[in-house]
A and B are shown apart, each in its own frame.
Chain A
Amino acid sequence: MSSENITSDSKGNGAQPRSLVVGELVKEYVKGNPVLKGISFEVSGRTTVGIIGPSGTGKSTLLRCINRLIEPTSGTISIAGVDMVSMSGTGLRHARRRIGMVFQEFNLVERLSVIENILCGRLGYLPVWRAWLRKFPKEDIEKAFELLDAVGLTEFMTKRADELSGGQRQRVGIARAVMQNPAIIMADEPTSSLDPKTSVEIMETLNRFSEQQAIPVLINIHDVNLAQRFCDRIIGMSQGYVVFDGPPADLTSDHLKEIYGGEDWLA
């Protein structure tokens, strides 16, 4: 669990095959009132990064700017050497398919089966006519079966997604993200809709995939204890700035006070 503690001296524009470099990212929804005020950090290799901070501080916005579901106002983003900001159309699609995303509310297609939902991860690689006829290539189907086993949902293969519990659905969501063969996985509050025990399982699953696929996993999370337990590195955000970037061991209550404000909630 090495900690790659990079703040300002980055290695150029991060040309390592599995890395993310964010530079001076700014996002304004309303002019003159930026939510993200110049975020910079770099992530590479086999690591799990937890992003913590109070609600409304821009954690979700940050993730969605990285894959441009939300348009950043200014700044640079590059993933595996590919500049995300200048992409559009097919180029953007190709770039996005290398970013796996896990959502707080799972975002599955309720009426489709578990296996179909997992296979959705390959849609970015499939011509439309194959998608229409559900003619996925053999390797994709085999990989889907492997992932099904890896998340422990083998018996649920043909069950409809809406028949599953929250934790099971999130596991399908993670399998779908890994199906994309991504260079990086981003998870937006993956455990917020789940109970404590299931949350731990999901964090373990995410860590496991980070190890296996040797890719970074960015996790937005508001449970600080979970973050400290499972992440190699913590980025703390407050008021649109990064105010902490380092290993969980270095996270003191002073830091937490700066991030969240107020003393009463500290254990």
Chain B
Amino acid sequence: MSTQAGSRNPFKPNWLARIGWLILFAYCVYALSALHISWDRFVAGLGNGAEFIGELFPPNFSRWKLLLENLVETCEIAVIASAFGILFSLPIGLSAARNLMPEWLTWPARGLIAVCRSFHPVIFAILFVKAVGFGPLAGILTLIFASIGFIGKLFAEAIEEISLKPVEAMRAAGSPFMSVLIFAVLPQVLNRFIGFATYQFDSNLRNSTMVGIVGAGGIGGTLFAAFQRFDYDFLCTILLSIIALIMVSEYLASKIKEVFNG
């Protein structure tokens, strides 16, 4: 150990990081007060929470028929919306690719995708319910737009990252534009597209369990009704069935990806 005056510390304190953490802490204190969150409220809430959990269990399966019907409707909404959503996002995503398409096409396509992405699906759900009435149609339309937003953006980004060399070769060989897309562009991005599509189906299934809260069909309606009637043990059943449904679909999605990635 050196005994020279002013021995150097090999681990210089990272002042930037420390200040960062301090700012974060200060922000949390500020935010808690801005949101009127106090310790008392929190503790009171915990008490309520314990009571609440007590009322959730044991789960009540007596209305399993209603539950099943609604689950089926939820799946239907997800399947139909995903089918159309995936179908539409292919051309829309392609149109948004700035390395392939002219500006008069990419700007509207990117605009559409941005609008679809920026709003939470429930906002679309509310608007569609007002427009086309209660029921699964609103839910389906909602999730079609949500799918376009998600898949469209990622697909366009994937296309903008491809190598344009095979595209040049196909053009030089006199290939029509669509064939250039099929042979030179799609093989480079199809795997990723399938990944996005399966992810979106999963996302649509989750969202379809929720759009019912605003009347757009599916199990969300039943859930919200149970909640408002204080039917907490039925509520628990519904929650458990939603979790089970999601788990099954995650499993199926991974299987499908395996088949297509061969």
A interface residue numbers (CB < 8 A to B): 67, 69, 92-101, 103, 105-112, 116, 120-121, 123-124, 126, 128, 131-132, 173, 176-177, 180
Contact = CB atoms under 8 A, between A and B. Distances in A.
A95 B171 CA distance: 11
B183 A131 contact: yes
Interface residues of B, number: 20
Which of the listed residues A69, A101, A123, A132 has the most CB atoms from chain B within 10 Å of its own CB?
Answer: A123
B183 to A, nearest CB: 6
B178 to A, nearest CB: 4
Contacts of A126: 179
Contacts of B174: 92-99, 123-124, 180
B172 A111 contact: no
B170 A120 contact: yes
B168 interface: yes
Given A100-B173, A109-B187, A123-B173, A128 B165 contact: no
Q: Is the interface of B mostly helix, strand, loop or mixed?
A: helix
Interface of B: 163, 165-166, 168-176, 178-180, 182-184, 187-188
A128 B178 contact: yes
Contacts of A94: 174
B169 A107 contact: yes
Given A112-B187, A126-B179, A103 B165 contact: yes
B182 A103 contact: no
Given A99-B172, A120-B175, A128-B176, 15 more contacts: A69-B172, A95-B174, A100-B173, A103-B165, A107-B165, A107-B168, A109-B188, A111-B188, A120-B170, A123-B173, A123-B175, A124-B173, A173-B169, A180-B173, A180-B174
Contacts of B176: 93, 123-124, 128
A188 B221 CA distance: 65
Closest 4 CB pairs of A and B: A97-B174, A124-B174, A96-B174, A123-B175
Nearest to B180: A123
Nearest to A105: B165
Contacts of A109: 166, 183-184, 187-188
A203 to B, nearest CB: 20
A105 to B, nearest CB: 6
A184 to B, nearest CB: 12
10 contacts: A93-B174, A96-B172, A101-B169, A107-B166, A108-B169, A120-B170, A123-B174, A123-B175, A126-B179, A180-B173
